[in-house]
Amino acid sequence: MISSVFGKTKPINYIILLSILFVIYWAVNFYLFEQAFSLANWVWKTIALGFLMFTLFVVNFVVKRNQITESSTYAILFFTLFIAFFPEVLRDTNAIFCGFFISLAFRRIVSLRSLRNVKLKLFDASLWIVTASIFYDWALVFMALVFIAIYMYEPKNFRNWLIPIAAATTVLSILFAILSLSGNTTYLSDHFSFTIDLKLDLLYAEPHGIKIIGYVLLVLVTGLLAFARIGKLGLGRILSMRLIVVCFIVGLLVTMLETSPSAFPVFITFFPGATLVTKYVETIKRTRLKEVFLTFTVLIPLITWIAQHVVN
């Protein structure tokens, strides 16, 4: 049943997933964690919800336009399920905004395989990553993804290697000008401190730690199985899949560096994670086995939600 619905790209699929996101978002912020908001916070939270929903469309656009996945809505289904599995990420608006801009950057990076407008795409990707770093300073680590993409697609053009630096300079110059006008010139030095303070007690504490481990294992195992079965894909798609893996690994690194009692950056790994799981689902030829796997992934967030927030 699930495969017959989300195995296709119907408008009803988007309506279902957007409705689920809407309900989960407000349930998390007002019911599960019982937060009280001022009018300004209401506006900010509503804007964050808009960015979250738009991220869903960005994910779908990237995987379809670049033919990373087949014509289905599995990627955005898993993206939504991961959010349901980690509802606490919806409390962290920085994670939502950062994840949105990282998804825009990844959109430009994977489109490099066409080898058209390479410099413009590199500049755009770098620009979005630097913008994402305004919310998490360690998001700048995603610049490694840009340099890896340059190495994969057009390494001999020396100017390509300078473009990320130019993009970073552009964004930071504009930001500095705005901060100077507002009299807050110390923001850059305060924000971009790049402090290494691994809060392993938060990463591995129950139940969050168990969910993190289960999530990472699911993505890595399904990703490995997918890679083992997609050997016949063209070189362009293989390179795109490698970039997705790198994006997931970098996202995990940023998660380790940024996690705090009020920050849940694991959200930024949901895009590549959902893509890898989708690739595995698409390799399952037996309909019954595919249905069992999909049912399992749908039930797990529901069960953990009930166990964590209803029973307790």
Q: What is the DSSP string of 107-133?
A: HHHHGGGG-SSHHHHHHHHHHHHHHHT
Per the CB < 8 A criterion, the answer to whether 90 and 80 are in contact is: no
Q: Which two tokens stand for residue 76?
A: 């955005």
Looking at per-residue pLDDT, the higher value among 97 and 3 belongs to 97
User: What pLDDT is recorded for position 271?
Assistant: 97
Name the nearest CA neighbour of 161 among 114, 213, 210, 126.
126
Query: What are the angstrom distances between the C-alpha of 180 and each of 172, 177, 183, 249?
Result: 12, 5, 5, 36
Cα–Cα distance measured from residue 111 to residue 260, given in angstroms and rounded to the nearest whole number: 34
Q: Which two tokens stand for residue 272?
A: 């590549």
User: What pLDDT is recorded for position 11?
Assistant: 86
Q: What is the pLDDT of residues 220-267, one digit of tens each?
A: 999 999 888 776 666 667 888 899 999 999 999 999 888 777 788 999
User: What pLDDT is recorded for position 145?
Assistant: 96
Cα–Cα distance measured from residue 249 to residue 241, given in angstroms and rounded to the nearest whole number: 13
What one-character DSSP code corresponds to residue 269? G
Look-up of token digits 């894909």: 233
| 20 band by pLDDT with thresholds 50, 70 and 90 | very high
Q: Tell me what the mean pLDDT of segment 156-180 comes to.
A: 93
| Residue 92 backbone zone (phi > 0: left; psi -120 to 50: alpha; other: beta) | beta
User: What pLDDT is recorded for position 107?
Assistant: 95
DSSP notation for 3-25: HHHHTS--HHHHHHHHHHHHHHH
In percent, the amount of the chain with pLDDT more than 90 equals: 58
| 162 band by pLDDT with thresholds 50, 70 and 90 | very high
Lowest mean pLDDT among 171-185, 204-218, 263-277: 204-218
Return the biggest CA–CA distance within the chain.
62
Determine the Cα angle at 61 with ends 58 and 65, to 5°: 145
Is the Cα dihedral 157, 161, 164, 167 positive or negative? negative
Range among 50-59, 84-93, 251-260 rated most confident: 50-59
Half-sphere exposure of 26 (CA within 13 A, CB side): 10
User: What pLDDT is recorded for position 33?
Assistant: 62
| 205 band by pLDDT with thresholds 50, 70 and 90 | low
Q: Tell me what the mean pLDDT of segment 53-81 comes to.
A: 93
Q: Is the pLDDT of residue 106 over 60?
A: yes
User: What pLDDT is recorded for position 280?
Assistant: 93
Cα–Cα distance measured from residue 261 to residue 205, given in angstroms and rounded to the nearest whole number: 11
User: What pLDDT is recorded for position 311?
Assistant: 54
Per the CB < 8 A criterion, the answer to whether 24 and 33 are in contact is: no
In the chain, domain spans: 2-105+199-311
| 285 band by pLDDT with thresholds 50, 70 and 90 | confident
Cα–Cα distance measured from residue 10 to residue 15, given in angstroms and rounded to the nearest whole number: 9
Per the CB < 8 A criterion, the answer to whether 13 and 73 are in contact is: yes
Q: Which two tokens stand for residue 22?
A: 């809407």
User: What pLDDT is recorded for position 203?
Assistant: 59
Cα–Cα distance measured from residue 132 to residue 91, given in angstroms and rounded to the nearest whole number: 17
Lowest mean pLDDT among 43-52, 87-96, 110-119, 259-268: 259-268
Q: Tell me what the mean pLDDT of segment 130-139 comes to.
A: 94
Q: Tell me what the mean pLDDT of segment 134-162 comes to.
A: 94
